[in-house]
Amino acid sequence: MGIRKKRDTSYSMTQKLLKKLGEGRVVEYWTKYGMYKASELLSIEMQEYVSPYVLRYMSNKYNWKREVNKLSAIYKGVRAGTVPATYYKHLIFPVEEIKNELNNISR
């Protein structure tokens, strides 16, 4: 097979975010506000629509991690044992608290 043609991805929102704001700033927004609210705030700052799914793609590609919001349905589901925490690779769950919950349930 022949050599693949090099694609120009400079037009992509991922590249625009990295070039204008830098990865650190984007991670900061994502960590603090989550995917949806961060995309709204980044859209205002960039003066161009930023899809929340761009942030999802970037978090998967660059393996970003953040603390789970204790008020979220995801956290409540993991705490109740209905959803495994391993399903959410990008979220950090407080391990001791979940273990204590599981120990209290099993007694």
39 with 50: CB under 8 angstroms?
A: yes
50 with 13: CB under 8 angstroms?
A: yes
20 with 14: CB under 8 angstroms?
A: no
Reported as a single tens digit per residue, the pLDDT across 55-98 is 999 999 999 999 988 888 989 999 898 989 888 888 888 875 55
- Which region holds residue 47: left if phi is over 0, alpha if psi is between -120 and 50, else beta? left
Reported as a single tens digit per residue, the pLDDT across 6-48 is 888 888 999 999 999 999 999 999 999 999 999 999 999 999 9
| Model pTM score | 0.73
Q: At what angle do helices 13-20 and 23-46 cross, to 10 degrees?
A: 110
Provide the pLDDT for residue 88.
86
Q: Which two tokens stand for residue 91?
A: 């979220």
* Domains in the chain: boundaries: 12-64, 65-107
